[in-house]
């Protein structure tokens, strides 16, 4: 399948999962939440959304591999691999906060070919294909052109799972907050990365994310003219890692600022 074929399939699977998430009853009783890690929840809703996506993708491409937190968390890079987060922002979903997403990426032999991030509550989809740009409907998206950090708005994510990272993160937050026009933490990394691709955020960083949080958003940003690396500035693949993203100027500034001790 071509990159565009993979994109159409991923977009269809994301749309079906989004339809389910918009109509399913939210499990508001904490007794129905499963704690899969420190402050990290999963519900039957997450699992059902992933089953919807898996059935569509594997029916179309039976020889492909699924990588996702609930069904198949082991990372893979050979052949056609789907990297899926069926509900990014589960905690927001559980509390009725309207910021959560479906994220699906397709990679062939480790190279990202297609990515879809669906903002579920807004029914707003951003897509990208390798060499084909990043789009929201008929609108081609591009990262922001703001070069001055004092004018920039930066997205972030708190280290809520591993609180041992909190103190160094707070030092980073202080350096970024003192030098920009604002820092935002909506709570769904896939949407944060889509916001960088759309130019709403000028940059973004988080100390640790999973491959399924990153993959689709990474392609969106790259095809929109931005950069996505780890905190050291290294290009990242399908992996669990730190993330720094932004337009070229703000990305470079973030790398320097986050690694400074001043």
Question: Beta strand 153-156 with 203-209: parallel, antiparallel or unpaired?
Answer: parallel
Predicted confidence (pLDDT) per residue in 228-259, tens digit: 999 999 999 999 999 999 999 999 999 999 99
Predicted confidence (pLDDT) per residue in 70-111, tens digit: 666 678 889 999 999 999 999 999 899 999 999 999 999 999
Q: Which residues pair with 204 in a beta bridge?
A: 155, 245
Give the Cα-Cα-Cα angle 149, 234, 67 (nearest 5 degrees). Answer: 110
Q: Are 6 and 130 in contact (CB under 8 A)?
A: no
CA distance 30 to 240: 28
Segment 128-156 mean pLDDT: 98
CA distance 8 to 113: 12
For residues 249 and 166, which has the higher predicted lDDT (pLDDT)?
A: 249
Segment 188-206 mean pLDDT: 98
* DSSP sequence for 99-119: --EEEEEEEETTEEEEEEEEE
CA distance 52 to 41: 20
Q: Are 170 and 217 in contact (CB under 8 A)?
A: no
Helices (H), the chain: 3-23, 44-60, 90-94, 166-179, 189-197, 211-223, 248-258
Q: Is the pLDDT of residue 67 over 60?
A: yes
Q: What secondary structure letter does DSSP report for 72?
A: B
CA distance 71 to 202: 34
Which domains are assigned to the chain?
A: 3-133 (3.30.540.10), 149-258 (3.40.190.80)
CA distance 228 to 209: 13
Q: What's the helix, strand, coil split of the chain in %, to 5?
A: 40, 30, 35
Q: Is the pLDDT of residue 161 over 90?
A: no
User: Does residue 71 sit in helix, strand or coil?
Assistant: coil
pLDDT of residue 204: 98
Nearest to 161 by CA among 69, 26, 228, 252: 69
172, two tokens: 């980073």
């050291």: which residue's tokens?
232
pTM: 0.93
């Amino acid at each position: 399948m071509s990159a565009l074929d993979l994109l159409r399939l991923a977009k269809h699977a994301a749309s079906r999962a989004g339809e389910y998430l918009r109509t399913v009853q939210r499990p508001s009783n904490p007794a129905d939440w499963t704690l899969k890690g420190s402050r990290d929840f999963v519900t039957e809703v997450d699992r059902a959304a992933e089953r919807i996506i898996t059935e569509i993708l594997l029916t179309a491409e039976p020889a492909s591999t699924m990588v996702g937190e609930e069904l198949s968390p082991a990372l893979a890079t050979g052949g056609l691999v789907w990297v899926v987060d069926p509900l990014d922002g589960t905690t927001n979903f559980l509390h009725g906060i309207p910021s959560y997403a479906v994220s699906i990426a397709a990679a062939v032999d480790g190279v990202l070919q297609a990515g879809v991030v669906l903002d579920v509550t807004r029914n707003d989809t951003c897509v990208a294909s390798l060499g084909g740009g990043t789009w929201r409907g008929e609108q081609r998206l591009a990262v922001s052109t703001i070069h001055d950090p004092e004018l920039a708005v930066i997205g972030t994510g708190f280290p809520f799972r591993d609180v041992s990272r909190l103190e160094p993160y707070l030092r980073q937050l202080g350096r970024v907050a003192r030098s920009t026009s604002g820092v935002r933490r909506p709570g769904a990394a896939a949407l944060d990365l889509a916001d960088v691709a759309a130019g709403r955020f000028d940059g973004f960083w988080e100390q640790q994310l999973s491959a399924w949080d990153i993959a689709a958003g990474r392609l969106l940003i790259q095809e929109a003219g931005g950069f996505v690396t780890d905190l050291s500035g290294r290009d990242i693949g399908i992996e669990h890692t730190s993330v720094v993203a932004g337009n070229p100027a703000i990305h470079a500034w973030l790398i320097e600022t986050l690694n400074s001790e001043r």
